[in-house]
Amino acid sequence: MNIARLNESILIQKTETVVDRYGNHKPDWTDYFACHASVTGAASSAQNGAQQVIAGQTVDISDVAFTVRWCQKTATVNNTEYRILFCGDYYDILAVDHMNFQRKCVKYRCRKVRR
């Protein structure tokens, strides 16, 4: 793994269910781990026109992959409880690839969250 390619900082957030004073269950995102990552697919998919019209609105549906160094915290990240914050945008994790379980790096395939 080439460490020089890990040139973008990301923040991994974890969701927790919070009960408000009325008894409603709401998701609350807390910061879990900040690290540097290699980002692939962000510029190339935007140039290829990875957009779709949904309900009369043009939406970016491009996929992005974040590759980070392996550690105990990145190894426990899954696609149901975590998301990634990158350049002010949130990304849902679609798949986690442990790269043949060699404990060198972890790749998260993500999709930008529509807000």
pLDDT by residue (tens digit) across 52-105? 666 566 666 678 999 999 999 999 999 999 999 999 999 999 999 999 999 999
pTM score of the predicted model: 0.79
Q: What is the pLDDT, as a whole number, of residue 34? A: 96
Burial grade of 37 (CB within 10 A; 0-12, 13-18, 19 or more) = buried
Question: Alpha helix (H) ranges present in 1-115?
Answer: 42-47, 72-75
> Does pLDDT of 47 surpass 50?
no
Q: What is the pLDDT, as a whole number, of residue 57? A: 64
CA distances to 7, 13, 14, 16, 76 from 80, in Å:
26, 11, 9, 11, 11
Average pLDDT (22-33) is 93
Q: What is the share, in percent, of the chain residues with pLDDT greater than 70?
A: 81
CATH T-level fold of 3-112: Thrombin, subunit H (2.40.10)
CA distances to 8, 58, 113, 114 from 54, in Å:
30, 6, 14, 11
- What lies within 8 Å, CB to CB, of 77 at 6+ separation is 12, 32, 33, 93, 96, 106, 108
